[in-house]
Structure 1
Amino acid sequence: MLDQPAFGRRLKELRLERDLSQAALAGKEISTGYLSRLESGGRQPTERVVNYLVQVLGVERSAFDTPPSGGSLAQALSLAISTESDESSENLIAVLAQVREENLFLRWQALWHISRYRQRRGERAEELTCLEELVQVADKLALPELQCRARFHLARSLRSTGEVSRALDLALHAYQLAKGAALAVPDTGGALLTLVSVEAEAGRLPDARAHVDELVDLVAGRLDTLATEALWSAATVRFRQGDHEGARNCLERAMKELDSGVDLTLWARLRLAAASLHLQSTPPRTERGRECLQEAADALALIGTDVLRQELLTLQTHLAFHEGRYTDARQLYDELNRDELLVTYRDQVRLRILDSRLMILEGREQEGIRHLKELGEQAQQQSNIDLAAEIWRILAECLEDVSQVRRTEA
């Protein structure tokens, strides 16, 4: 579009990119005063002037097209990185969709920033689209570091939506890239973190245990967020292997070693993870779970995103259920489902399991049992073997409870 002041901003960018002064660009055809007013947005360009500028600058007429908030990709990226505001990130998305620049490194950085922005907002479909392109750009650049990072971030996003099979392939590839190119600890550790989480989700617990032990050894002696997340992963794998005490020890150590001043978001997420672990224990450790949730709630009041607030509300729903406050659990569940669910696939399934169990307690036995069967079949079809096993176990317990109630009534 050739409306001012967008045209003027783009004209100035094109001139500066070619290292031209206003006098050099104006030449003998237009005055420098007129060119200055064009760049400031004070004058509307005529067709003759536009044709002249296109010829001197060596560009197509479409080069003057720009998003409403304007700017080159480099400019939009600089603003987005330096301010990290929603407005600057949205502007970067608009610019990236329209620019015709072929600077792959700039495109990589823009996609990386946008994917993190989408992830924070829980926009999973948009995040996946962005990460898919990130992998393509990384492959064109042929840098192992970027190829590794793009793949393990895409694998994480796929795992969170329940696409375990493809996530596993990507995570394995990222790990192989890291090992083959002897990448630095952050990249190798990031690949291992992702691989462990996907293997655990797929029920490949022996593989997950071997890789998480490798990860813990890799980060030994480090006092950073990667070391904290390694302990978190070790806790997750141990818990799913039935070693609840070992899992609690790993997670308590992670919480103890991470200062809230280093990364308050991770600090809060660890408390949410600990609460989840306590509530999934047999029997549920509700008192400790409640303490962890309160600590997380206090932190999220300061730095909470929509995703993290939903995770907190999800766990508060499970806490109410395990404490026998079924009416509260139903109210919290209904509150969660009034909005789009942003939590991971596993958390969404666990919420639906809870809904089914509440149905049974509310007297809708057949409906609740049917929902549990459907959830188990869906998890199995999507290769979520570990999750499917959990659902079948809960279904068996519910069937036994229903049978026992009927025997008592008879």
Structure 2
Amino acid sequence: MLEQPHFGRQLRKLRLERGLSQAAVVGEGMSTGYLSRLESGERRPTGRAISYLAQQLGVEASALTELRAGGCLSHVLAAAASAPPGTDSAAALLQAVRDDERDERDDPTGRWQALWLLGRISEGHGDYEQERGHLRELIQLSELIAAPELRVRAYVRYARCLCALGDLRAAEPAAVTALGVARAERLPVADTLAAQTVLVGVETELGRLDVAERHVREIERELLPTAAPPLAAEALWTASVVADRQGDHDTAQARLEGALALFQGSDDLSLWTRLRTAATAAALRMSPPRVAAAERWLGEADVVLELIGTPPQLQEIRALRAHLAFHQGRWDEARALSGALSSDAELRLPYGDRVRLAVLEGRLKILDGRVDQGVASLRRLARQATDARNLDLAAHVWQSLATTLADVRTSDAAR
């Protein structure tokens, strides 16, 4: 038999589904006060009470005493969290969340957990628009529950999702809120570091390198010494981008090497590969690109992700291969890889990676002799990035255009 308060919730749900008042259910065989205490979980039901209520509701007693699959958020949440890899639990989980919302005696904490998991599932599929919807609800619930750590985690995830969508206007206040709450509530290092790291990433993309560098110095001084390896590694690779944009390329590569040294594949294979793909991307965006390091890190990640990678992860690997091939002078390979990705109707790359892939295609057009077409494409991308306030990305586009045109002139002069 279901223990309280679950029995009471199920009883009340069945009553409301039938549009019955408490008085209509109790009839002459029970008091409304007793029914109210059963529904609230204050009293445990007797066998006689269960039989009587089942008769009044027109259901089998098992409908009151057994947990119905798909009908209880905690049950569906537990099943989703413990499901084997590859199991699609999203539909059942989302239905359970909606059912729970319709119950006046709902479970906001359980719903928060379910929405967090739904956001993770959407992120894993590369569906950032869907993830944004789940995270908006997550933030609203976080405000309702009033647990500072849940608020910070929701805003951090929301800021990251907005960055993946290219919406820096909304990502910045979300990241600022996360860090403000973490500091005001004196939350542990893990939450504070996660909030400050995502803010560093946002400020860097906005082109505010001086602000980003101040945060990096605070991180290195106050948080990194006691941070867990996964969070420290993410902070270091984010800080490496700041150093590179400031022209300190040696520090940038040292931070990347330091991030990779913190984590072994035996600790968490998923994070181990994520570190290497992030490091590869960062190395290829350096000026000049650190091609040898990128090739090494990409090779390490490639072996694992070709076996266990999700479709979005495989797309990321192929995009990185295209960029690496370009920097190694293998333009035909770069052209084939980028062309195949761009024509994929299910392309799930984040906004910044999509733009960089389009930049690569524009550069290849210029090198193929279609100079006007390539230049027009890159100019359009630069304007779009500027309109999105992503000054770091806009600078990448303009630099790529200038570098490619200079390479063409040098090649023409050599002839």
Same fold (TM over 0.5): yes
**Structure 1: distance between partners of 2:14 and 2:372:** 68
1:210–1:303 CA distance, 2 compared to 1 (3 A): farther
1:392 alignment counterpart: 398
1:327-366 aligned within 5 A: 327-337=332-342, 338-366=344-372
**Structure 2: distance between partners of 1:359 and 1:21:** 78
Please say if residues 22 and 36 of structure 1, whose CA atoms lie closer than 8 Å, have aligned partners that are also in contact.
no
Please say if residues 280 and 293 of structure 2, whose CA atoms lie closer than 8 Å, have aligned partners that are also in contact.
yes
Identity %: 38
Give yes or no for the alignment of 1:288 onto 2:313: no
1:29–1:225 CA distance, 2 compared to 1 (3 A): closer
1:96 alignment counterpart: 97
Letter of the 1:382 partner, please give it.
Answer: A
Deviation at 1:30, TM superposition (A): 4.3
Please say if residues 175 and 198 of structure 2, whose CA atoms lie closer than 8 Å, have aligned partners that are also in contact.
yes
Letter of the 1:98 partner, please give it.
Answer: D
1:210 alignment counterpart: 214
1:49 alignment counterpart: none
2:22 alignment counterpart: none
Q: Which residue, 160, 164, 168 being the options, matches 1:164?
A: 168
**Structure 2: distance between partners of 1:212 and 1:89:** 37
Letter of the 1:129 partner, please give it.
Answer: G
Give yes or no for the alignment of 1:136 onto 2:140: yes
1:21–1:14 CA distance, 2 compared to 1 (3 A): farther
1:313 alignment counterpart: 318
**Structure 2: distance between partners of 1:394 and 1:230:** 27
**Structure 2: distance between partners of 1:84 and 1:130:** 22
Deviation at 1:148, TM superposition (A): 1.5
Letter of the 1:119 partner, please give it.
Answer: E
**Structure 2: distance between partners of 1:408 and 1:239:** 31
1:7-46 aligned within 5 A: 19-20=44-45, 23-27=48-52, 30=55, 35-36=60-61
Letter of the 2:49 partner, please give it.
Answer: A
Q: Which runs of 5+ in 2 are unaligned?
A: 1-9, 16-37
Letter of the 2:123 partner, please give it.
Answer: Q
Give yes or no for the alignment of 1:70 onto 2:59: no
Deviation at 1:80, TM superposition (A): 1.3
Deviation at 1:283, TM superposition (A): 3.8
Q: Which residue, 118, 125, 137 being the options, matches 2:129?
A: 125
Deviation at 1:209, TM superposition (A): 1.1
Instruction: Out of 118-127 and 281-290, give the one that drifted further.
Output: 281-290
Deviation at 1:317, TM superposition (A): 0.4
1:267-306 aligned within 5 A: 267-306=272-311
**Structure 2: distance between partners of 1:29 and 1:119:** 43
**Structure 2: distance between partners of 1:39 and 1:395:** 68
User: What are the Cα deviations for residues 2-22 of structure 1, in whole angstroms up to 9, with x where unaligned?
Assistant: xxxxxxxx7799699764355
Please say if residues 121 and 306 of structure 1, whose CA atoms lie closer than 8 Å, have aligned partners that are also in contact.
yes
Deviation at 1:236, TM superposition (A): 1.8
Deviation at 1:309, TM superposition (A): 1.5
Instruction: Out of 88-97 and 203-212, give the one that drifted further.
Output: 88-97
**SS state at 1:329 partner:** helix
1:163–1:251 CA distance, 2 compared to 1 (3 A): same
Instruction: Out of 83-92 and 173-182, give the one that drifted further.
Output: 83-92
Give yes or no for the alignment of 1:255 onto 2:260: yes
TM superposition score normalised by structure 1: 0.83
Please say if residues 326 and 358 of structure 1, whose CA atoms lie closer than 8 Å, have aligned partners that are also in contact.
yes
**SS state at 2:369 partner:** coil
**SS state at 1:266 partner:** helix
Please say if residues 152 and 171 of structure 1, whose CA atoms lie closer than 8 Å, have aligned partners that are also in contact.
yes
Letter of the 1:272 partner, please give it.
Answer: T
Letter of the 1:387 partner, please give it.
Answer: L
Number of equivalent positions: 374
1:222–1:404 CA distance, 2 compared to 1 (3 A): closer
Give yes or no for the alignment of 1:183 onto 2:201: no
Superposition CA RMSD, Å: 2.9
Please say if residues 382 and 398 of structure 2, whose CA atoms lie closer than 8 Å, have aligned partners that are also in contact.
yes
Q: Which residue, 140, 153, 163 being the options, matches 1:149?
A: 153
**Structure 2: distance between partners of 1:147 and 1:222:** 20
Instruction: Out of 360-369 and 156-165, give the one that drifted further.
Output: 360-369
Give yes or no for the alignment of 1:201 onto 2:205: yes
